[in-house]
Structure 1
């Protein structure tokens, strides 16, 4: 299970609600769970929105995945790596998992298989986009990042 997805699901599960205000979402992460400072909770919220794990419905945050299928392990606490920037392929995998209901391991296997089928002639991110498209996932928001990484020379993109 993706760590960011577990963190994003926690405030909803803890409050047994399908939507939360930004303040309530961040409050749970910062003060109820004591996992992070309020400014870090804001960054995690933004990261989860960027990964299409959370979205807005009016002024409320709602999960873009079925939280009833998420089990938060007893004693779970996010690792420090959650606060690091994820690579593009990690974002693609997280988006496929969140929007199409695939698990992380199966998603990675499908992406690797697609890259092998193409004779390793495409970057892993392109293979990820192809898999997402084939299984009907909408990950349009990441196309520009992949394009920049694959086709813009001399520029580094994460």
Structure 2
């Protein structure tokens, strides 16, 4: 099971078990820390940050609302999240995954569209990160939380687009 799937199952579990569309922050943390004993309070708070940053939930006025179909997520028997859910993902990959969710296209297709944008419209004078930002905005994909990291990555010149 990969990090994204494990994170999705972990976030969906309290909503499914409590059969609610929205949860108080305290209910969510209680479920993960006391009810399931999956993690500490600090880890649960970090999980909330990660989930919000990856566009899985919205936190407003102390209420947590999932931004995905909770009913479509099922946990395998005996599921317990591992520490991999707390690891920070590459912002470029996070943004690619978001675009794939919104457009319904595969990651290689989205990556190819970024490459085409960079090469065809900017003659290769645009970083792949900047191309991804433009593509994200074109499709209305949230980007505010990954923008600073993508900017830093572009300055380092890490990504190559073929």
TM-score band by shorter chain is 0.7 to 0.9
Distance 2:89 2:113 in 1: 22
Check the 8 A contact 1:51/1:94 in 2, yes or no.
Answer: no
Q: How does 1:94-113 map to 2 (within 5 A)?
A: 94-96=97-99, 100=102, 102=104, 106-113=105-112
Q: 1:79 to 1:127 in 2, by over 3 A?
A: farther
Q: Does 1:147 align with 2:144?
A: no
Structure 2 gaps of 5+ residues are: 158-162
Q: What are the residue-to-residue correspondences of 1:10-21 with 2, within 5 Å?
A: 10-21=13-24
RMSD: 2.9
How many residue pairs get matched?
Answer: 149
Number of the residue aligned with 2:160: none
Deviation readout 1:36-65 (Å, 9 max, x if unpaired)? 122111111111112221112322111122
* Unpaired stretches in structure 1, ≥5 consecutive residues: none
- Pair member with larger Rg: 2
TM-score normalized by structure 2? 0.73
**TM-score, normalisation: structure 1:** 0.75
Instruction: Point out the more displaced range, 67-76 or 42-51.
Output: 67-76
Cα distance in 2 between the residues matched to 1:101 and 1:73: 28
